[in-house]
Amino acid sequence: MLFKGGGLPHESLALQEKLFGAGPDYNFMTRIERFKNSLVRVQHFIRCCARYNLHDHADKKWFEGVAFPNEVSVLGPHSGMFIPTLKEQGSEEQIQKWVPQAEKHQIMGTYIQTELGHGTFVRGLETTATYDPKTEEFILNSPTLTSIKWWPGGLGRTCNFGIVMALLYIDGKNYGMHPFVVQLRSLKTHEPLPGLTMGDIGPKFGFDTVDNGYLQFNHFGIPRENMLMKYCQVLKNGTYTKQTRNPKFSYGAMIFVRSMVVYEVAGQGLAKACTIAIRYSAIRRQSELKKSRPEPQILDYQTQQYKLFPLLALAYAVWFTGVRMKEIYFMVNNEIKQGHTERLPELHAISSGLKAFTTSMASWGIERCRLACGGHGYSAASGLPKIYVNATGGCTYEGENTVMLLQCARFLMNIYGGVKNGRRPSGSVNYLGERISSRCTLTSEFTLKSLADAFKHRAARMIKEASERLNRLQASGNDPEDSWNLNSVVLTKAAEAHCHYYMVLVFESVVESVEDNCVKDILRQLCQLLALCGIQENSGDFIQDGFLNNDQLELVKQKQLSLLSEIRPNAVLLVDAFEFHDVQLGSILGRFDGNVYENLFKWAKKTPLNKPEDLIHRLLR
């Protein structure tokens, strides 16, 4: 109950639906079969939403976790991007027109922004929407090869509507990027409308169940009323008007999705991988620790513990951080509704930074879990390849990670600059207003406070140095843009240090809030391990200004190793606590009942390559 709280009832409901998990194993299907199978489950999911009255986003998410384990369905862009953007950017009239149809799935939509030659940098997009006052239409066009819309999920075969981001032109003047509602396919035949060239962009590393698509406009007209007009309007005669009200929260959907990625993609993905690898390591026996004794569980090897327990600690840390992100999102969202937008930049910065930091850490972590399972980890039966290929997508979508870290760094530089001008920061960056302490309080006790302080010191020092280096680069004659670029590696590292501190702090606060002393002790060990591994892997950062000395670093190493033995007896329980059902793990190695070998054998026998096929025989003669 530590993790899923209110989610469990919805998971249980979903697990009762026979259709989910029915049919052949995902791993035995072709891409087209995977896609179709997912569509069947999408339809059933829609029926279930009606039957069980699922409306709340979080409730649906728990349900989807069972319906679409370790994969993404075409519902994602529809409910996560299309509908929220309609609600945020549409006028009342527009919301009334499209949202009810979309919520009843009478129309299926996606969000169409990125282009073949343009990704995270929105201002680089080339698609045009030119207003023609004679026909009162916007003419959408793809003027270049690189302007072809590329990647939107569900665009390839599924969606019949989309919100298209395009440059608005009126009378030859460019008014910048605006959102347009576009019907893409006939509601009768499902054929693309004339003037549109559309299709699927082809197979990817993962995401087989989603038809990411392309879309080329050939002077395609849409009614004037289809520009989303909450903040900007184009009148019949071509007059352009703009609300004075600050549309800052128009990037609320983006912040929401990034916050969710921390929790759902990074947190849950790594937690599943740890569950599989740690359970399997308690089943698998290998080599010998003592001559003529039975082969030990591989979880008893120090090297295996050293691979997996820091990842287990990371999984807990990322999960808790994801929960915290969600809480902060809803809190700031409420503040904004009451007109207070002060904390929006901070929320934007920390959600960008943590999205990047946690997806990178979790992705590598999932792969390490797979590698820790040896040969069987490489088999699709482990479930780990599928978890990895879907999680690693999170490093790129919703903002490429390096760009995200630089956005976070930009905020940190602003705050630090403000501090030097006497402003007092608050929230997650309040520590930048403190004097950087050079007194390290780390002793062999390794209290969580002292560990968090070490990360605070590191982050503060690196942010300060990045800021000073930026100033030096400018002072020596570089213009601001070149200085920023020549400092960008240092800036990304400063942003990572800030996010790392944030994560340690969240974990510490969770440990402090736990009342059961036994649970508290175990979680404290995990939190210590997380922090100590962070210090060791980045020891240069901690030792460089003399904050940590060599003797302390030696203590850090020793404590890490002793924690491995202390965590060992609880390791399997700590992953069982995530409460993933076998359907959600999709892994033979991670089965709750531990019956690994028998089921690997059964599974292998069912693989399509084992069906007799004359051609193979003929080829071999």
Within 409-468, the residues that bind a copy of itself by CB under 8 A are none
Gap between the terminal Cα atoms of the chain: 59
- DSSP character for 262? I
**Contact between residue 126 and residue 115 where contact means Cβ atoms under 8 Å apart:** yes
**Of 11, 71, 126, 398, catalytic:** 398
Least CB distance from residue 450 to a copy of itself, whole Å? Answer: 19
Beta bridge partners of 317: none
Instruction: With CA atoms as reference, report the closest residue to 391 among 359, 427, 357, 355.
Output: 359
Q: Which helix (H) or strand (E) holds 332?
A: helix 302-337
Cβ proximity to a copy of itself: between 95 and 201 the closer is: 201
Report which residue type is found at 21: G
Please tell me whether residue 292 binds a copy of itself under the rule CB under 8 A: no
Q: Which of 177, 403, 440, 572 binds a copy of itself (CB under 8 A)?
A: 403
Please tell me whether residue 106 binds a copy of itself under the rule CB under 8 A: no
Please tell me whether residue 615 binds a copy of itself under the rule CB under 8 A: yes
Q: 3-class SS at 294?
A: coil
Backbone angles phi, psi at 176, to 5 degrees: 85, -170
Q: Which of 56, 93, 295, 512 binds a copy of itself (CB under 8 A)?
A: 295
Instruction: With CA atoms as reference, report the closest residue to 491 among 106, 499, 596.
Output: 499
**Contact between residue 580 and residue 69 where contact means Cβ atoms under 8 Å apart:** no
Residues 240-269 that bind a copy of itself (CB under 8 A): none
Alpha-carbon distance values, 60 to 13, 27, 67, 79, 81 (Å): 11, 25, 10, 10, 15
**Contact between residue 210 and residue 393 where contact means Cβ atoms under 8 Å apart:** no
d(C-alpha 381, C-alpha 601), whole Å: 10
d(C-alpha 234, C-alpha 229), whole Å: 8
Q: Which helix (H) or strand (E) holds 534?
A: helix 517-537
Exposure string over 110-123, b if 16+ CB within 10 A, otherwise e: bbbbbbbebbbeee
Q: Which of 96, 241, 246, 396 binds a copy of itself (CB under 8 A)?
A: 396
Residue with tokens 């508290």: 520
Which of 62-70, 81-89, 297-305, 338-346 is the region at the interface with a copy of itself (rule: CB under 8 A)? 297-305
Please tell me whether residue 408 binds a copy of itself under the rule CB under 8 A: no
Residues 167-206 that bind a copy of itself (CB under 8 A): 189-190, 199-206
Burial of 409 (0-12, 13-18, 19+ CB in 10 A): buried
Size of the site for a copy of itself (CB under 8 A): 119
Please tell me whether residue 279 binds a copy of itself under the rule CB under 8 A: no
Residues 347-376 that bind a copy of itself (CB under 8 A): 364, 367, 370-371, 374-375
Please tell me whether residue 218 binds a copy of itself under the rule CB under 8 A: no
Residue 431 neighbours by CB distance under 10 Å: 18
Three state DSSP letters for 470-522: HHHHHHCCCCHHHHHHHCHHHHHHHHHHHHHHHHHHHHHHHHHHCCCHHHHHH
Residues 319-338 that bind a copy of itself (CB under 8 A): none
Please tell me whether residue 39 binds a copy of itself under the rule CB under 8 A: yes
Residue 153 counted as an annotated binding residue: yes
Cβ proximity to a copy of itself: between 285 and 520 the closer is: 285
Cβ proximity to a copy of itself: between 89 and 158 the closer is: 158
Please tell me whether residue 287 binds a copy of itself under the rule CB under 8 A: yes
Least CB distance from residue 344 to a copy of itself, whole Å? Answer: 23
Which of 142-150, 333-341, 502-510, 511-519 is the region at the interface with a copy of itself (rule: CB under 8 A)? 142-150
**Contact between residue 128 and residue 143 where contact means Cβ atoms under 8 Å apart:** yes
Which of 78-86, 258-266, 387-395, 416-424 is the region at the interface with a copy of itself (rule: CB under 8 A)? 387-395
Q: Which of 142, 392, 467, 525 binds a copy of itself (CB under 8 A)?
A: 392
**Contact between residue 262 and residue 314 where contact means Cβ atoms under 8 Å apart:** no
Q: Which of 7, 23, 84, 117 binds a copy of itself (CB under 8 A)?
A: 117
Residue with tokens 């009451």: 338
Residue 53 neighbours by CB distance under 10 Å: 9
Least CB distance from residue 396 to a copy of itself, whole Å? Answer: 5
Please tell me whether residue 395 binds a copy of itself under the rule CB under 8 A: yes
Q: Which of 290, 337, 424, 435 binds a copy of itself (CB under 8 A)?
A: 290
Which of 32-40, 80-88, 233-241, 348-356 is the region at the interface with a copy of itself (rule: CB under 8 A)? 32-40
Please tell me whether residue 477 binds a copy of itself under the rule CB under 8 A: no
Please tell me whether residue 489 binds a copy of itself under the rule CB under 8 A: yes
Q: Which of 56, 434, 468, 482 binds a copy of itself (CB under 8 A)?
A: 482
Least CB distance from residue 22 to a copy of itself, whole Å? Answer: 15
How many Cα atoms are found within 13 Å in the side-chain-facing hemisphere of 468?
A: 6
Cβ proximity to a copy of itself: between 84 and 117 the closer is: 117
Please tell me whether residue 309 binds a copy of itself under the rule CB under 8 A: no
Please tell me whether residue 529 binds a copy of itself under the rule CB under 8 A: no
- Whether 342 is a known active-site residue: answer no
Least CB distance from residue 452 to a copy of itself, whole Å? Answer: 20
Please tell me whether residue 151 binds a copy of itself under the rule CB under 8 A: yes
Q: Which two tokens stand for residue 50?
A: 């009606």
Cβ proximity to a copy of itself: between 137 and 465 the closer is: 465
Cβ proximity to a copy of itself: between 134 and 605 the closer is: 605
Residue 443 neighbours by CB distance under 10 Å: 10
Q: Which of 15, 19, 27, 233 binds a copy of itself (CB under 8 A)?
A: 27
Cβ proximity to a copy of itself: between 327 and 554 the closer is: 554
For residue 211, what are the contacts with CB-CB under 8 A and spacing of at least 6? Answer: 35, 74, 153, 154, 155, 156, 157, 158, 200
Least CB distance from residue 219 to a copy of itself, whole Å? Answer: 19
Instruction: With CA atoms as reference, report the closest residue to 31 among 158, 200, 225.
Output: 200
Which of 2-10, 156-164, 267-275, 340-348 is the region at the interface with a copy of itself (rule: CB under 8 A)? 156-164
Residue 482 neighbours by CB distance under 10 Å: 12
Residues 550-569 that bind a copy of itself (CB under 8 A): 550, 553-554, 561
d(C-alpha 450, C-alpha 274), whole Å: 27
Please tell me whether residue 601 binds a copy of itself under the rule CB under 8 A: yes
Q: Which of 236, 424, 439, 605 binds a copy of itself (CB under 8 A)?
A: 605
Rg (CA), the chain: 26
Least CB distance from residue 330 to a copy of itself, whole Å? Answer: 29
- DSSP character for 176? E
Cβ proximity to a copy of itself: between 206 and 267 the closer is: 206
Q: Residues forming the annotated binding site for FAD?
A: 114, 153
Catalogue the active-site residues.
398
Q: Residues forming the annotated binding site?
A: 114, 153
